[in-house]
Amino acid sequence: MKTRYVFLLLVSAAVVAALLPGTADGQDRIASRPQGSPTTPAGGMLGILRHGSWQCALPGDAGGEAFIAVPEEAFLIGTASSYENAAGTGIYLLRGTEVVFTRGPKKDERFRVLGENTLQKLNPNGSLSKLICTRVGTAP
């Protein structure tokens, strides 16, 4: 094919594409964007948690214990964004103020960072649960 015919075909295709409505026959670019899900961490800088033992507890009441320890939720943060608990080892991602455990026994559990040594677990729908995890010491 001659160069001028290729050029005319290219220009014709561009004109037709520009005149067609975007949502009727073409691709809807807004709908095709990746959508966030409850398991997607919030935006922000990547970071790491402080290394050491993290213990978790539920709030108690005024008539009894101030808090109720939940030993099965405890974990140990190590190097290279890794963690360990009684069930095994895994990896986490800290992005902004949200921690997502991406591999291992706590996979898909999410926490909100409340402070340097404090996390609050998130429910599957993204709301805050009552479980609070606190760093209680450095790694052995």
CATH number of the structural domain spanning residue 84: 2.40.128
Same domain, 51 and 106: yes
Report if residue 41 sits inside a domain: no
Query: Between 87 and 21, where is the model more confident?
Result: 87
> Of 80, 82, 100, nearest to 90 (Cα)?
82
Same domain, 54 and 7: no
Mean per-residue pLDDT, 92-103: 96
Condensed to tens digits (0 to 9), the pLDDT of residues 17-76 reads 666 655 444 555 565 555 555 555 557 899 999 999 999 999 998 888 999 999 999 999
Same domain, 24 and 56: no
Return the pLDDT at 27: 54
What is the extent of the structural domain holding 95? Answer: 46-137
Query: Between 14 and 119, where is the model more confident?
Result: 119
Same domain, 57 and 124: yes
To 5 degrees, how large is the angle CA 69–CA 71–CA 72? 135
Report if residue 116 sits inside a domain: yes
- What is the domain count for the chain? 2
Q: Where are the beta strands (DSSP E) in the chain?
A: 46-47, 52-59, 67-69, 75-77, 82-85, 88-95, 98-103, 110-115, 118-122, 128-137
